[in-house]
Structure 1
């Protein structure tokens, strides 16, 4: 599909986090959302409150299993990942930083592709569209990054489900996202520069900045442009699961994407989570999701008897961004 790329800011005006530090404390609301990387040892949480000012965290974690990764560790034995967030697209995706035998470090290019973050790697200067992981310019053009399993959880859910987990500490510094213009200023993590955009009807950069050139949605069905979608891709097949449609189906959807049997749960927090379908007859009851004689946590895939579902690599993003990448028919429908 055609990608519209434009320059918006100077390179690194929004600073990536390249030396992340973690701890137990989080001084903001327990309802705040985090991107949770639960295959790390210990599990790690990256607050969206911080990511909206940084957009990329270059990290290296331990504890990956064969089921959770398809890349390779670096020379130190760590597992290099990039935790990425585009505030305009509501897209939270974790990528493997190991590509073509090299460990890449990503920064914010200052460009947008269809209103989505364009990352660049500091090794070759190649540019990558965040929502797809595809290299759109440079030495790796046409290549794609490997998606890793991750979940969008509240701080409360993360702490309850992973009591040994750690949280990214406030990175600090300056960011254009903290500024009323294009000049970076010191970050105030109490601020929420995209709060009005997230709750408004418009979408894309023009809607965020309140300028001309706003995009039209044009759909007449039940999807708004900023409906939260969980995208599952298997080989060349892609299917986006809008949270309202999963909820309308009873909160559980079982289907096939490519050759993979998938089960998707919608939560009361407005998110969706996808797992490899073990073949159980899941049902949503007053006590939670039940199947095979026990209760399961839809946000974690963990059963009361300690069994654990295999979380699939997914992309969490707004409906307009999924449509930009995959077209108008790549959405799950119950019929």
Structure 2
């Protein structure tokens, strides 16, 4: 090749090679997830980036952009967004440069609503969602100081029947769901302390709390699908699912919750032979022997939902039974159908360290704190499970039963505390905590 042709060749080819190198810089889309999916004004939203690893990116190049609100970084591929105090749809953008010739970016559009703002009526919940489902106040008869039966005396309640078990001190007290379905409210005493057990059958939700107001009665009204109670001392109105008085003299006061679990009677009495069953004589209350649940038809009919709902979540069938856990502005949903046999999940939600404990045989699905004596423990199923030994903690090897009680080892005698939780139908939970993350069990 002549000198002239060589010069012409390189003059044409060299820029072409350089241009090809620039084209190799590619853009990669990543996914941004939010918990909750629908934000509430002023409440924190956890943001996480999926489809990328920390080792892939230049950490100094990470940028978050939002159309409004405030970003508070708390991790390399995660952040917390504080929405503005206004409703609307907002955009969140993530960008980062890769260590190779890549650029990562993702965009999320998120809806911000204002939940729990009453339009009128002087109450702390949306009064327009309150309606009367029964003809008058106290049409559903409340039980006061019902009869109790020790385990050795119980003959009529089958072992597979579900009960709401409440514990203060060392004593467990069990309330059959078939009894609660007829009365919805039971004012009782446990260890000399006044308590109330409340059950909203339309949402399949139960709660127990200390009774410091002379007992509670049924207003005959509902909020969405949850019943509304009144206290006999001041006639103020309370919404148990929110744990507060929303209208009346005591407006703004909170209920002091007492932990409870939903479990089969046979499992509870096997683990705790000293348990007491609250089982009134049916003849004395007009309900015969409580041998059936009046809401069985409602539980079987997946399409029939009673309530004025503020939010409809179509991700799961409405009557899917779920365990819901919330902390701050975040919430997560655990469908009962996601578990089979025995299972223990170590979880963290916005700094709340807890475990989800599932035992299909006993019907138990609950959430408990993993913090004991100031230390966060990790749990696993016991290597040789028995009726007593359910799980063990990795740090000390102590053995725990399904009630969260350490039965042997260094921590014997310690009890895991329940975290704020909901157990009931998904449609009611999603209206109470809209847009929550839904747990998917990857074992299935």
Same fold, judged at TM 0.5 (above): yes
1:103-160 CA distances to partner (integer Å, 9 max, x unpaired)? 3411111111102111111111111123222323212223331222111111101101
For 2:146, the equivalent position in structure 1 comes to 20
Equivalent position to 2:209, from 84, 92, 95: 95
2:265 maps to which of 139, 143, 155: 155
Give the 3-state SS of the residue equivalent to 1:142 in structure 2: coil
Give the match for residue 324 of structure 1: 431
Q: Determine the structure 2 residue equivalent to 1:197.
A: 298
Please report how far the alpha carbon of residue 235 of structure 1 lies from its aligned counterpart in structure 2 after TM superposition: 5.6
Counterpart of 1:312 in structure 2 is 418
Which residue number in structure 2 is paired with residue 73 of structure 1? Answer: none
Distance of aligned partners of 1:158 and 1:215 in 2 relative to their CA distance in 1, 3 Å threshold: same
CA distance in 2, matches of 1:321, 1:331: 15
274-283 vs 155-164, greater mean Cα deviation: 274-283
> Is the counterpart of residue 243 in structure 1 residue 243 in structure 2?
no
- CA 1:303–1:186: 2 relative to 1, 3 Å: closer
Q: Distance in 2 between matches of 1:110 and 1:151?
A: 26
Match of 1:254 among 346, 358, 363: 346
State yes or no: 1:301 paired with 2:404.
yes
Q: Which range is displaced more, 45-54 or 223-232?
A: 223-232
Q: Once the 2 structures are TM-superposed, how far is the Cα of residue 249 of structure 1 from its aligned partner?
A: 12
What SS does structure 2 have at the residue aligned with 1:89?
coil
Match of 2:365 in 1: 272
> Is the alpha carbon distance of 1:296 and 1:30 closer, same or farther for their aligned partners in structure 2, counting shifts above 3 Å?
same
Is 1:80 aligned with 2:194? yes
Shift in alpha-carbon separation, 1:40–1:117, aligned structure 2, 3 A: farther
Deviates more, 1:106-115 or 1:141-150: 141-150
1:129 aligns with 2:230: no
CA distance in 1, matches of 2:175, 2:169: 12
Deviation at 1:331, TM superposition (A): 4.5
Query: Does 1:7 find its partner at 2:7?
Result: no
Equivalence for 1:282? 380
SS of residue in 2 equivalent to 1:322: helix
Instruction: Pick closer, same or farther for the CA change 1:230–1:308 going to 2, 3 Å.
Output: farther
Match of residue 49, structure 1, among 175, 178, 181: 178
Q: Which runs of 5+ in 2 are unaligned?
A: 1-114, 117-125, 372-376
Quote how far apart the aligned CAs of 1:28 are. 2.2
**Bigger strand share:** 2
CA contact (8 A) 2:311 2:431 kept: no
TM-score, scaled to structure 1: 0.77
Aligned residues: 297
The 3 A distance-change label for structure 1 pair 56 and 257 is: farther
Contact 1:204 1:215 in 2 (8 A): no
Answer yes or no: is the 8 Å Cα contact 2:313–2:427 preserved in 1. no
1:144 corresponds in structure 2 to 254
Higher RCO (CA-CA < 8 Å; seq separation 6+):
1
Q: Structure 1's 272 and 188: CA in aligned 2 closer, same or farther, altered over 3 A?
A: same
5+ unaligned residues in a row in structure 1: which ranges? 63-77, 176-184, 207-212
